Amino acid sequence: MKTALSRRRFLSRTATAGALVGALPVSLNVLGANNRLRLAVMGVNGRGSALTRGFSSLPDVEIAYVCDPDQRTWARAAGMAKDQPSPPQGIEDFRQALDDPSVDALVSAAPDHWHAPATILACAAGKHVYVEKPASHNPAEGEWMLAAARRYHRVVQVGTQRRSMPAIIEAIGRVRAGELGEVKYARAWYNATRGSIGRGRQAPIPSWLDWDLWQGPAARRDFRDNLVHYNWHWFWHWGNGELGNNGIHALDLCRWGLDVTFPRRVTSGGGRYMFPDDQQTPDTQIVTFDFGDRFIAFESQSCRRHGYEGSGFGAAFYG
């Protein structure tokens, strides 16, 4: 299936979603008729491969499809499901899996600009969703996802895997139990030694890639040779930079530990300073979140590994 999905067409089909927030409860009836979850995994060139391996190792889960516009990924991803009796089917377009009534849920590990559209389409098709962080490409899309989950009575879970790590669960529990005293400030950081992505050149679309499907609902761009597969993170058109790529993990821990929801004020500063290349998102950034009676600061230097508390990545609480 190679039916193009323009952003205008997608929005016209979901324009009323924002009015539906809070309208209906979410059902918890997830398992299929045979008490075995059949999943379709969307985006298997990176994180999706690990999810395929993890889910397929569970006795009550079967990977029915691995979906990716890069045909080269299918065999490798199918190999990740070696623990199940039969391999998953490799397809380009995840909407083919949504049309299959035997599929119970979509696992989305596609680029950020696909998170909300795929989630909403899956909910409308009667599928539950596990979507990788960040939940959406922008805040408005997150509201539409919530509305879709409620409208169609679907379970939608956003994956920030540190929420499932026993040591972190214990640490957050201790913070919230007051073992550090009254905590008003938390710091999050991510530092690395990423190199330059260079200056991309317009190039022919590879035969193995459905570039139109990869772009999905985003406005069309010419294919360039420094975009696929990881560098899309560093373009605002498809990604959210290091803040949405790795910073979100540490920020989630800070919010969890401080027991806060929405900040009343957010400030951000930084830029792309290290290399004269195509990257649009910052390599150096400081973001602050003011919650009135609590405060979080995030700092990132993705091209200089100068971390804090002895680590290039982390979250710290100061009592």
Read off the pLDDT of each residue in 206-229 and give the average, rounded to a whole number.
96
- Residue-level pLDDT at 82: 85
Digit-coded pLDDT (tens) for 168-197: 999 999 999 999 999 999 999 999 999 999
Digit-coded pLDDT (tens) for 3-61: 444 444 434 433 333 333 333 344 445 555 467 899 999 999 989 999 999 999 999 99
- Residue-level pLDDT at 103: 98
Which CATH number does the domain housing residue 271 bear?
Answer: 3.30.360.10
CA distance linking residue 37 with residue 218, whole number of Å: 31
Kindly state whether residues 119 and 190 are assigned to the same domain. no
In the chain, at which residue ranges do the beta strands (DSSP E only) sit? 37-42, 61-67, 89-91, 105-108, 128-132, 156-159, 185-191, 265-271, 284-290, 295-301, 313-318
Read off the pLDDT of each residue in 258-269 and give the average, rounded to a whole number.
97
Which CATH number does the domain housing residue 74 bear?
Answer: 3.40.50.720
Kindly state whether residues 155 and 110 are assigned to the same domain. yes
Write out the DSSP string of 167-189.
HHHHHHHHHHTTTT-S--EEEEE
Residue 225 belongs to a domain: no
Kindly state whether residues 308 and 179 are assigned to the same domain. yes
Q: Please, where are the H alpha helices in 216-263?
A: 241-242, 248-258
Where does the pLDDT of residue 305 fall: very low under 50, low under 70, confident under 90, or very high at 90 and above? confident
pTM of the model: 0.87
Kindly state whether residues 104 and 50 are assigned to the same domain. yes
- Residue-level pLDDT at 30: 54
Residue 217 belongs to a domain: no
Kindly state whether residues 13 and 153 are assigned to the same domain. yes
Mean pLDDT of the chain: 90
C-beta separation of 97 from 122 below 8 A: no
Domain housing 310: 166-195+235-318
CA distance linking residue 43 with residue 45, whole number of Å: 6
Kindly state whether residues 45 and 128 are assigned to the same domain. yes
